[in-house]
């Protein structure tokens, strides 16, 4: 009897949680989910000769997405995002490791230094790279000062300037989750491995790396997804030859105004992202902790 009452009062409490969630869920449903459904519908529509949209089912937009012009772009997008993700992890891991082993009082300061760029304007940060990499830019001035170069190579408008821009902007997203898993790591395991005769390198490979793998996975999600949909970095640092899918989406919607084709292109991008999320889904909600 008493138990039954307890249960119903708990249920009552749970219903209260749903009331609190209603405004957010309703808002996100209307302005986030419904628009995605609309994109899906548009991707099967067509334009008449006057450029007006007719909702008659067609797959022609998807056929166009899979012509060589766009499969090349998709391949380029995927490659650039993958290279950027791997490099972010490689560059970010030692930093996360270092911060994770620092004394507590330095940890928060170092973390703050990692996170602050994320607060600063994305446009401004990307713009700041132009003056570094341009042919008469700071990098060449420094290299020439040390006598390392004779002429002034153009670092911009190449795949590596796009990747450098990605690392510059997304490094914090790789460092934060790796740091979180290094910090959680029970240091007793390392002492155990070393007292059993493993050297530092073996300890790292057999103990530290496997135990921090969830952080690495979370970091790869947080870097790969925004970079596969990146627009601004290839726009400013890559140029037309290194345009990614995001640049074609921008052009198709804001310059050309071909909504049905743009919709199909973006559905393909969304599917790539969803596939990626599906692969990592078991790590998804658990490990992706953002530490702003």
Partner 1 sequence: MKNLWDKFLKGYTFLIFLFLYAPIAILVLFSFNEGFMVGARRVGSTVVWRGFSTEWYTKLFDSPAIWAALGNSSMIAMITSIASAVLGTLSAYAVIRYNFKGKNLFYIFMLIPIIIPEITEALSLLLFYVTFGVKLGLHTIIIGHATFCISFVFTVVKARLADYDKSLEEAAQSLGATPVQAFIKVTLPILAPGILAGTLLAFTQSFDDLIKASFTTGAGVITLPMLIFSKIKFGVSPEINAIATITLLISGTLALISYWIQNSS
Instruction: Please give the Cα distance from 207 to 192 (Å, whole number).
Output: 10
Of 6, 71, 122, 206, the one binding partner 1 by CB under 8 A: 122
Q: Least distance (Å) from partner 1 to the CB of residue 166?
A: 13
Nearer to partner 1, 71 or 121 (CB): 121
Residues with Cβ within 8 Å of 41's Cβ and at least 6 positions away in sequence, in order, are: 55
Q: What distance in Å separates the CA atoms of residue 216 and residue 140, rounded to the nearest whole number? A: 34
Torsion over CA: 133, 230, 59, 30 (sign): negative
* CB-nearer residue toward partner 1: 113 or 209: 113
Alpha-carbon torsion (113, 119, 121, 126), positive or negative: positive
Task: Count how many residues are written for the chain.
Answer: 292
Identify the CA nearest to 85 among candidates 211, 18, 177: 177
Site for partner 1 in 2-31 (CB under 8 A): 13-14, 16-18, 20-21, 23-25, 27-28, 31
Task: Pick the stretch among 1-9, 56-64, 121-129, 188-196 that binds partner 1 (CB under 8 A).
Answer: 121-129
For residues 67 and 124, which CB has a smaller minimum distance to partner 1 in the complex? 124
State how beta strands 53-54 and 46-47 pair.
Answer: antiparallel
**Among 95, 144, 211, 251, interactor with partner 1 by CB under 8 A:** 95
> Is the CB of residue 170 less than 8 Å from the CB of residue 84?
yes
Here's the x/- map for partner 1, 65-94, by CB under 8 A: it reads as --------------------------x--x
By C-alpha distance, which of 126, 76, 99 is closest to 183? Answer: 99
**Residue 254 engages partner 1 in binding (rule: CB under 8 A):** yes
Q: Among residues 35 and 153, whose Cβ is nearest to partner 1? A: 35
Interface with partner 1 in residues 189-248 (CB under 8 A) = 200, 221-222, 225-226, 228-232, 236, 246
Annotate 180-236 with three-state secondary structure.
HHHHHCCHHHHHHHHHCCCCHHHHHHHHHHHHHHHHHHHHHHHHHHHHHCCCHHHHH
Which residues inside 123-182 make contact with partner 1, applying CB under 8 A? 123-125, 127-132, 134, 136-138, 141, 168, 171
Rounded to a whole number of angstroms, the minimum distance from the CB of residue 13 to partner 1 is 6
Please identify which residue in 75, 121, 154, 206 interacts with partner 1, judged by CB under 8 A. Answer: 121
Told to check if 263 binds partner 1 by CB under 8 A, we report yes
Decide whether 116 or 192 has the Cβ nearer to partner 1.
116
Cα torsion 287, 272, 278, 218 to 10°: value is -10
Using the minimum distance from each CB to partner 1, give the nearer residue, 32 or 196: 32
Minimum Å gap between C-beta 28 and partner 1 is 6
Cα-Cα-Cα-Cα torsion 146, 148, 149, 152, nearest 10 degrees, comes to -50
Report the number of secondary-structure helices (H) and strands (E) in the chain: 15, 2
């Amino acid at each position: 009897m008493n138990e039954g009452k307890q249960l119903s009062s708990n249920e009552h409490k749970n219903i209260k949680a749903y009331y609190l969630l209603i405004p957010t869920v309703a808002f996100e449903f209307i302005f986030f989910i419904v628009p995605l459904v609309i994109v899906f519908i548009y991707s099967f529509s067509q334009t008449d000769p006057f450029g007006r949209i007719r909702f008659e089912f067609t797959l022609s937009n998807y056929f166009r997405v899979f012509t060589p012009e766009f499969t090349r772009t998709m391949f380029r997008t995927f490659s650039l995002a993958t290279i950027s993700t791997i490099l972010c992890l490689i560059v970010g891991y030692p930093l996360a490791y270092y911060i994770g082993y620092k004394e507590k009082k330095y940890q928060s300061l170092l973390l703050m230094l990692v996170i602050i760029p994320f607060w600063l304007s994305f446009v401004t940060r990307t713009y700041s790279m132009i003056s570094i990499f341009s042919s008469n830019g700071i990098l060449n001035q420094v290299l020439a000062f040390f006598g390392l170069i004779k002429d002034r190579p153009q670092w911009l408008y190449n795949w590596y300037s796009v990747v450098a821009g990605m690392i510059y902007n997304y490094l914090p997203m790789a460092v934060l989750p790796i740091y979180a898993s290094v910090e959680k790591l029970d240091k007793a395991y390392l002492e155990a491995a070393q007292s059993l005769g493993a050297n530092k390198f073996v300890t790292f490979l057999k103990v530290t790396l496997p135990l921090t793998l969830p952080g690495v996975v979370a970091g790869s999600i947080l870097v790969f997804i925004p970079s596969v949909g990146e627009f601004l970095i290839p726009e400013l640092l890559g140029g037309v030859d290194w345009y990614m899918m995001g640049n074609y989406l921008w052009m198709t919607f804001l310059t050309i105004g071909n909504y049905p084709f743009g919709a199909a292109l973006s559905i393909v991008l969304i599917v790539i992202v969803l596939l990626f999320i599906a692969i990592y889904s078991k790590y998804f909600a658990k490990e992706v902790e953002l530490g702003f």
